[in-house]
Structure 1
Amino acid sequence: MVQSEPFSACTSILIGKNATVDGSVIIGRNEDSRPAWPKNFVVHPAVTHDDSQVFTSQDNAFSMPLPTQAAKYTATPEWTTKYGLFEEDGINEYGVAMSATESTYANARVLAADPLVKDGIGEEAMITVTLPYIKSAREGVKRLGTIVATYGTDESNGILFADQNEAWYFETGSGHYWVAQRIPDDSYAVIANQMAIQEIDFADPDNFMWHPGIQKFVSNYALNPVRQGFNFRKIFGTANQMDTYYNLPRVWYGQKMFNPEISQAVNSYDLPFLRQATNLLSVDDAKTFLSSHYQGTAYDPIGSGSPEDRKRFRPVSLATTQESHVLQLRQFAQPELAGIHWLAMGVAAQSVYVPFYAGILSTPAAYQTSDKVSYQPDSAYWVYKQAGVMVDSHYHEFGGLLSDVQKDLNQQFGQAVIEADHVGQDLDGVELAAYLTKVSTAQAELGLKRYRDLTADLITKATGLSPLRYKQDLNL
């Protein structure tokens, strides 16, 4: 067995509107970093500045001017700004969703021709300088593409955009060159830390966008290993043991979930970027994928496979997940009601996705209080993380209790959304915003209460599982 390298990186999903049961466009991602690295969840109000604005990164020397008008948007920043903002995901007031980033890796021959730019834009800044300034997913691709081409980027990444009509996946392949592909309305894509986009059709600007000089760049430096066509993955991407054991199996599992009739090798390099699912997909399917760990296979870390198989491949959901989000854009006229920012703090497999409407004015205090890396009992991140840690200690004894709470909360959240959708369609303006804030806050508080109660129950039950408690044999 080849041990996977000690990386912690994200997993993403995008689903077109005709591939979903309700016509939603859906994007989602697990933000993976470290086992203990808290997140907050905030709402940035719309702002109009009198003077010109400049963004300056706290992570590197990246700096750029910003428009004077910034739209309202949700975001999940880190507990500290020392290493940058890392706002990661959100929905703005125009109903545009963005998630950044899916870490990817470019090959050495490409980077030799166009190295990464030390003071270029990175993950920590992408949401902040893009989401408040766009009114469609397509605009998001164009804005970020211009920034990457102009200032360069210090890392290779995949970025997700969506609105009510379209989902786009954007990839940077080197210091300045990028491509983006529209997810077909009837298709889905799952991505796991490798260049994903394949053939680029330069005659189809409705479904593809790219750096205007990318074809010349590839030709000038003789970078295309394929005899015909322009396969971005093969030109810019990698094909190594990290892909084999760390990346490809997650894509395989997502496609196995949604296309069980198709037989594919676990770590095949021929797994396609796009597929049409056997059945229409729901927001719950996206959550289930992002919460998965190879259930039903020999590779499940908490399953019944051999010790070697259970640690053979890196799962989608794992202990280093900071937060997991599913950004759903439904077909309602009001963007405040149409968008739902489903947010699971901590490990998705052990947490629960709380529905926050895009129109909310604020988030609960527990979602804004993380300001240090160590445990804070009033932090939403730590409430969900603590329950998971307790389950980890005795997974087979406590897993059922966790699952019961998750199922109950998912049902209650679903009922709350159905009711709020019904009421919200007759509201607008300040009245709608206040109502959606009230509903979202109530669901968030319900989730926190149930998980605090679960933790108390787990602690109580754990007292009887100590190795110092045993039945003594008096015949000894």
Structure 2
Amino acid sequence: MIMQVRTACTSILVGKKASADGSIMIGRNEDSKAAWPKHLVVHPETNAQTSPTFTSKATGLTLTLPKRALKYTATPEWTDEFGLFEEDGINSAGVAMSATESAYANARVLAADPFVEDGIIEEAMVTVVLPYITSAKAGVRRLGQIVEEFGTGEANGILFADHDEAWYMEIATGHHWVAARIPDDSYAVVANQLAIQEVNPESADFLYDAGLFDFAADHQLWQPGTPFNFRQIFGTSTEFDRIYNTPRVWDGQRRLTPSQTRTPLDSDLPFIVKPDQPLFIDDVTGVLSSHYQETPYDPTTNGPEAHRFRPISLAKTQESHVLQLRDNRPQPIADIHWLALGVSAESQYVPFFSGMTEVPESYQTGELPADLTSAYWQYKLTGVLVDAHYRHFAKSLTDLQKATHQALLQLIAETDDASRGLDPAGLAVLANEASAKAAALSLSVYHDYTMQILAESTDYSPLNFNTDANL
């Protein structure tokens, strides 16, 4: 096995007044390896008599943790040989976290505050933060305190949300970070760049490390009295950005705000944008599944610009998630961990209610080599068979995804109705049953579809020939 290296992700955050139903949504594609299984787990609440310690397998960082850990969902690696990489989840306080969106800082700031080899990195962030916070802002502060004290080994963006607000945090150098609250009526799409723009130190909508402004001034990176544009001071703007990063931001924004006239090569795409219409869950998953459809840059076509830009959804997506926090419902079913295993464009976002205490077995398994008892490998098999004859199967796959999404939305509505009058124990049972039903429904549909396209694919062999029907 080769140690996993984070290469790229794409993230989206949606404020509660920007969504059609008033929910807050944060989501991200976890991109690194084309074949690297992910699992879904639920960690129970724990109350230790003495403060436990955590030691990172990736960097050796050791932290003393609080005695009480809240219950939370997560999507760890199939092996912990290189660390946990739990990536995303929702805790029992209704707080969601996704970590991380890998980013790049410029040489000037890294020379002044280099990365710390034994600091905290993506591998551990969800594990040492999410179980110990009761608000999105508390998540920013807890992770920020760890970064300031122990340092970090990489530049990253981290998504937090609760039922009131969403926050995007960026760690740029060994010890310096900033976070911005997403306005309720807006959204943000981020793609491997430091994205936060002007920071107002007087506004409650920003958090940052205690030495941020002095650091920038002392190293002649910023002139006090001028706007503090975090992206310009700490980030990059290179040819690589305009091929690999900004086109994905453009792709997300052109889908959600088509009235905006911009190009994939724009280096000043805004961090915060208002949608043209209220956003639904399928608008968010649509962004995370996008590969420049209906543009010259779609890699599934044969046009001259088909592979010019890196798409949002690609073969190296290991899992994609949207963490949806809904109001006016009892906690065990209010929050939904939508999870698409494998390539988001060719998989299905399945809703898991965060109040569940049991995870379907197929989502707990999956290793190398492949094993079709695993949900991860079932969705990957479907994608591989579609890829072999993409133009032939693309429409039938899209039709399948839409029909399955409709059935899953109906299941959520039925679950909401069934929750009325239930006590906490009954709600937990309902969350387990509904999550299991959603997983089984989607897997059954994809199994049948996989068998269908397997049979059809047999006649597309290069060894085929127009034979005489009588022979």
After TM superposition, is the score higher than 0.5? yes
Q: Secondary structure at the match of 2:183?
A: coil
Whether 1:341 aligns to 2:343 is: no
CA deviation string 1:201-249 (max 9, x = no partner): 0001x21000011000011111128982100001110111220100000
Counterparts in 2 of 1:143 and 1:425: CA distance versus 1, 3 Å? farther
Q: Secondary structure at the match of 1:18?
A: coil
Give the corresponding residue for 1:465.
Answer: 460
Distance 1:47 1:12 in 2: 30
Give the corresponding residue for 1:3.
Answer: none
Give the corresponding residue for 1:87.
Answer: 86
Distance 1:216 1:228 in 2: 14
Give the corresponding residue for 1:422.
Answer: 417
User: Are the equivalent residues in 2 in contact too, given 1:344–1:351 (CA < 8 A)?
Assistant: yes
Q: Secondary structure at the match of 2:17?
A: helix
Per-residue deviation at 1:400?
Answer: 2.2
User: Are the equivalent residues in 1 in contact too, given 2:120–2:150 (CA < 8 A)?
Assistant: yes
User: Are the equivalent residues in 1 in contact too, given 2:291–2:299 (CA < 8 A)?
Assistant: yes
The share of aligned pairs that are identical, in percent, is 52
CA deviation string 1:4-39 (max 9, x = no partner): xx9841000000001111100010000001110100
Distance 1:402 1:444 in 2: 18
User: Are the equivalent residues in 2 in contact too, given 1:290–1:324 (CA < 8 A)?
Assistant: yes
Counterparts in 2 of 1:122 and 1:7: CA distance versus 1, 3 Å? closer
2:57 alignment partner AA: Q
Q: Secondary structure at the match of 1:352?
A: coil
- Equivalent of 2:389, from 377, 389, 394? 394
Give the corresponding residue for 2:371.
Answer: 376
Unaligned runs of 5+ in 2: none
Aligned ranges 1:312-391 → 2 under 5 Å: 312-370=308-366, 372-391=367-386
1:318 alignment partner AA: L
User: Are the equivalent residues in 2 in contact too, given 1:36–1:374 (CA < 8 A)?
Assistant: no
> Which deviates more from structure 2 when the two are superposed, residues 208-217 or residues 416-425?
416-425
User: Are the equivalent residues in 2 in contact too, given 1:55–1:64 (CA < 8 A)?
Assistant: yes
Aligned ranges 1:222-233 → 2 under 5 Å: 222-224=220-222, 228-233=226-231
Give the corresponding residue for 1:212.
Answer: 210
Give the corresponding residue for 1:262.
Answer: 260
Whether 1:117 aligns to 2:110 is: no
Whether 1:440 aligns to 2:435 is: yes
CA deviation string 1:110-138 (max 9, x = no partner): 00000000000000100000000000101
TM-score, reference length from structure 1? 0.96
Ranges of 4+ aligned residues in structure 1 off by more than 4 Å: none
Distance 1:143 1:344 in 2: 29
- Equivalent of 1:237, from 229, 235, 238? 235
Q: Secondary structure at the match of 1:19?
A: coil
User: Are the equivalent residues in 1 in contact too, given 2:217–2:223 (CA < 8 A)?
Assistant: no
User: Are the equivalent residues in 2 in contact too, given 1:119–1:154 (CA < 8 A)?
Assistant: yes
Distance 1:270 1:282 in 2: 27
Distance 1:175 1:133 in 2: 23
User: Are the equivalent residues in 1 in contact too, given 2:6–2:31 (CA < 8 A)?
Assistant: no
TM-score, reference length from structure 2? 0.97
User: Are the equivalent residues in 2 in contact too, given 1:95–1:336 (CA < 8 A)?
Assistant: no
Distance 1:259 1:227 in 2: 33
> Which deviates more from structure 2 when the two are superposed, residues 426-435 or residues 241-250?
426-435
Q: Secondary structure at the match of 1:280?
A: coil
2:355 alignment partner AA: G
> Which deviates more from structure 2 when the two are superposed, residues 160-169 or residues 427-436?
427-436
Unaligned runs of 5+ in 1: 1-5
User: Are the equivalent residues in 2 in contact too, given 1:192–1:251 (CA < 8 A)?
Assistant: yes
Distance 1:89 1:449 in 2: 25
Distance 2:350 2:290 in 1: 18
User: Are the equivalent residues in 2 in contact too, given 1:225–1:234 (CA < 8 A)?
Assistant: no
Give the corresponding residue for 1:452.
Answer: 447
Distance 1:58 1:414 in 2: 39
Distance 1:152 1:263 in 2: 40
User: Are the equivalent residues in 2 in contact too, given 1:62–1:121 (CA < 8 A)?
Assistant: yes
CA deviation string 1:441-468 (max 9, x = no partner): 0110111111111111111111111111
Per-residue deviation at 1:472?
Answer: 5.5
Counterparts in 2 of 1:300 and 1:227: CA distance versus 1, 3 Å? farther
2:415 alignment partner AA: A
Whether 1:300 aligns to 2:298 is: yes
Aligned ranges 1:67-216 → 2 under 5 Å: 67-204=66-203, 206-216=204-214
User: Are the equivalent residues in 2 in contact too, given 1:87–1:128 (CA < 8 A)?
Assistant: yes
CA deviation string 1:148-173 (max 9, x = no partner): 11110010000000011100000001
Distance 1:353 1:190 in 2: 19
RMSD value, Cα: 1.5
Distance 2:126 2:221 in 1: 31
Give the corresponding residue for 1:284.
Answer: 282
> Which deviates more from structure 2 when the two are superposed, residues 225-234 or residues 146-155?
225-234
Distance 2:117 2:314 in 1: 30
1:462 alignment partner AA: S
